[in-house]
Homo-oligomer: A and B are copies of this chain.
């Protein structure tokens, strides 16, 4: 048997992967059970309902994206200009992952945002965090606040189009556009 921590990790990993591949409602609790090897009983001890599991998956993904984004910025870029652009390299890596099918929050909002206030709120907060990350960089550059919104639109557009088309190209295209916008305040 697995300890609670390991089981929770396996469930969250499995659910995130299956939700990403097929969508949320197309994945039954039984599929998560089979793929994770965690029994239904334990699954419901860890997450008392599918709704709560969905929210936990999204919340963990939110944290992971925020960490990964700032870590990548700190690792690869040296100033706010470079860190803003580095977001698009981070996107490129993400889009190239096998099975990439778009942003969990854009997809989750589209599927459940209309019936689940929790999913809608998590998605909104997540997108606001991305905008805030851009705003940190653009503020440091003394750029007008709208620039952060615009960079966020490019990033989200790249996620949506890369997901739908299956091509990683949008990351590079968005990066080039972002450079043009950033250069107006240099």
* A residues lining the B interface (CB < 8 Å): 20-23, 25-26, 101-102, 105-115, 120, 123-124, 127-128, 146, 149-150, 152-161, 163-165, 169-170, 173-174, 176-177, 180-181, 184
Please indicate the chain B residues that have their CB under 8 angstroms from the CB of A180 in the complex: 180-181, 184
User: How near does chain B come to A184, taking the closest CB pair, in angstroms?
Assistant: 6
How many copies of the polypeptide does the oligomer hold?
Answer: 2
Please indicate the chain B residues that have their CB under 8 angstroms from the CB of A107 in the complex: 109-111
Please indicate the chain B residues that have their CB under 8 angstroms from the CB of A163 in the complex: 109-110, 113
Query: Within the complex, which residue of B108, B113, B156 is in contact with A157, where a contact is CB–CB below 8 Å?
Result: B156
A153 touches B124 (CB 8 A): no
Given contacts A154-B157, A160-B156, A161-B156, contact A22 B170 (CB under 8 A): no
